[in-house]
Structure 1
Amino acid sequence: MACRISELVIDAEDPDRLAAFWCDVLGYVELAREEDGSVQIGPPDVGFGGAQPTLVFGAGRNPRAGKLPLHFDVNATDRDQDAELARLLALGAVPVDIGQTGGENWHVLADPEGNEFCLLRAQLKAV
């Protein structure tokens, strides 16, 4: 028997703002809101325990200098990479320079709180 990732927990200065951003990026919906200010989001009509992990944005932030040890990679499901990049930028993502040469087939971006993620080239089927 093996484990699988059921949820990812992310500290956030503004859990509502990050939850809204990532709902727009991933097509997720808000699943739960706790008294401590945390917000859980996940796939619509599935919720916790489905094939895709849910995300929990918890109130609180311990700023960390330098590159984070974990980041998300995302792929478009219904458009090409250029169109998805334009959509993500319109949602509030910002480009990040981590020393790319310009020849990479991915884009490094940051969410509204500066958490880095990459938009990869391949288009995937929606789950």
Structure 2
Amino acid sequence: MACRIGELVLDCADPERLAAFWGAVLGYVELGREPDGSIELGPPADGYGGPLPALVLSPTTDPRPVRLPLHLDLSPLGPDPATETDPDTATETARLLALGARRLGTTTDRLVLADPEGNEFCLRRPRTASS
């Protein structure tokens, strides 16, 4: 027997704002709301319980004292079936910045960004079967 990641929970000051941001970034839709103000997002076709984890944005007023030990690494979807080419990372970077991400830096194979509340995530170059 094995487990899968069912949900990723992100504490945040403004769940509405981050739900709009992460929903647009991931192509997720709102799956539900909890009485505490948490908003659950997930893939539109699968909802909760599908192969991809849901994202729960949980309201908190506690400031984060240190950098989170976990962050998301994103890869542009691809290859594009119409052209059989990798997605354009520059185009995806521009889209993320237009949604409200901030550029923090770069490493060898990724761009380090932050969401509207400063939570770090990375945009990796597209992966292939050999990378």
Provide TM-score, normalisation by structure 2.
0.85
Q: Give the deviation of 1:80 after TM superposition.
A: 1.3
Q: Which runs of 5+ in 1 are unaligned?
A: none
Residue-by-residue CA offset, 1:55-112 (whole Å, 9 max, x unaligned):
0001104323443200000011153111100100000000114xx5xx6221000000
Deviations, residues 21-52 of structure 1 (Å, cap 9, x unaligned): 00000000000012211100000021111000
Q: What is the aligned-residue RMSD (CA, Å)?
A: 1.6
CA distance in 1, matches of 2:62, 2:43: 28
Question: What's the secondary structure of 1:88's corresponding residue?
Answer: helix
How many residue pairs get aligned? The number is 120
List gaps (5 residues or longer) in structure 2. Answer: 79-86
Structure 1 runs of 4+ aligned residues shifted over 6 Å read none
Structure 1 residues 67-106: aligned runs within 5 Å: 67-78=67-78, 79-97=87-105, 100=106, 104-106=108-110
| Corresponding residue of 2:116 | 112
73-82 or 45-54, which moves further after superposition? Answer: 73-82
Q: Percent identity?
A: 57
TM-score, length-normalised on structure 1? Answer: 0.87
Q: How does 1:1-127 map to 2 (within 5 A)?
A: 1-78=1-78, 79-97=87-105, 100=106, 104-122=108-126
